[in-house]
Every structure is written in C-alpha cells, then in structure tokens.
Amino acid sequence: MRILIVAATDWEIAPIVPAGCGSSDIPRMKSYVHAGHEIDALTTGVGMVATAAWCSRVLAERQYDLALNVGLCGSFDRALAPERVVHVVRDRIAELGAEDGDAFLTIQELNLLGRDEFPFVDGQLLNSHPPAIEPLHRLPAVAGITVNTVHGNERSIAAAADRFGPQVESMEGAAFMYACLIHGLAFAQVRAVSNFVERRNRGAWKIASAIDALAHAARSILDHA
C-alpha cells in the first residue's frame, strides 16, 4: 500500500518518521517504508493555504491508496482532555462567510455555495467512508472546525460553539479533507488534543505528551493498514 502522511510541522510528525529516511523529489517530503507500506511524509507548513497548496501538488503528481493527516488540536469538549487522540470525521471552514453586524453568515447562507455542493454535505466536509482500519475505528469520532485564528476569547469561543457545535479545532484539517475528497482518495484526519479551547494558557498545554500519544496512534494505524 502507498500511503501519504500529512502534517503541518516537523515536530508533529518527527516521532513517526524514521531518522535518516530518504528525501523526495518533492520539497517538504520524505519517503520511507513501514510495515511493508511505501510512505511519503509531507510537512506542509501551518494553516489552510499551505496545506491545500502542498496537498494539491502532491496528489496531482502521485497516486496513493490512503492519506493520513496527523496533528494537534484544541478541544471544545471537556470530555476530550489533553493527550486524547481523536478521529475527525466531519469538519468545517469556520470563518468562511461574512459578518452582518453581530451575526455571522456562512458561505452557504450567503448563497455563494450550495449546502450539498461537492465536496460539502450539509455545509460540512464529511468522511463518509473512513478506512476500515481497526485502531482508527477505536478512536472517538468527532466533529471539528478549521480556523485561521485559533480561538482564545471567551465570546468568540462561545459563538463558535453555539454556531457549529465543534468538539475540536485545528488550522489545517478541512483543507486536507477538501483535497482528499476532490481527488477521491481514502483518508483519515487523526489528531491529539494538546489543550482545551480557552483563553490562551500555555502553562496548561500538554504538547509533548500529546505528540507521543499521536505517534503511538499513527504507528498503530500504519501497522494495521
């Protein structure tokens, strides 16, 4: 099986990618073999634009059987504490729309995109048929939002929670899902919670242990793919 792993940063993917693995002819990508699978590991850089651009380039040039997005996320759901690994099966581009006074209108409410216009389903990006990999299916399946500005204000947090009901947020997930959906590629977005979504409080973040948990989950998925 040929697998593409996508992460925003080197430190999110470092525990998964073997030291000294081969470089690729595509910038920001390394190649190696794991459990009999040919794996390309792509580090896109942070944010939706970088993720969409690099994923689109790679998927236009190469064929894969599976794509796996790994990274950290913040949790709106107090039941999903730091170090918990989740499978994001639905995602939204939360800021795509327009302000109308104190109200926010989504791109669908503006009638600039249909609610079920491909690749959206009811205004969301949906992984309707995730890969049949046992360790993946053991992870909690959650709803996410993807943002350019990470939430850290009580009013904006409450507004996002009320508007979309997300359980987690990231800065890349929807862009990855969008690229995979338009290429018809089997995929999964797997993230480890590093912090609760609240006013910025770095002292409460658990980045190192979240990355360890993420690496363990990713390796297990690859072992059973």
Q: What is the mean pLDDT of each run of 10 residues along the chain (225 residues)?
A: 97 89 85 93 97 97 97 97 97 94 90 94 96 97 96 90 95 98 98 94 90 97 95
> Strands, DSSP E only, in 35-186?
37-43, 66-75, 85-93, 97-100, 103-106, 120-121, 124-126, 141-146, 168-170
Q: What is the pLDDT of residue 183?
A: 97
Backbone angle region of 37, left / alpha / beta, with phi > 0 → left and psi within -120 to 50 → alpha: beta
Number of other CB atoms surrounding residue 39 within 10 Å: 24
Is there a contact between 153 and 199 (Cβ–Cβ < 8 Å)?
yes
Neighbouring CB atoms inside 10 A of 119's CB total: 15
pLDDT (0 to 100) of residue 103: 87
User: Domains, the chain, ranges and CATH?
Assistant: 2-224 (3.40.50.1580)
Say if strands 85-93 and 187-196 run parallel, antiparallel, or are unpaired: antiparallel
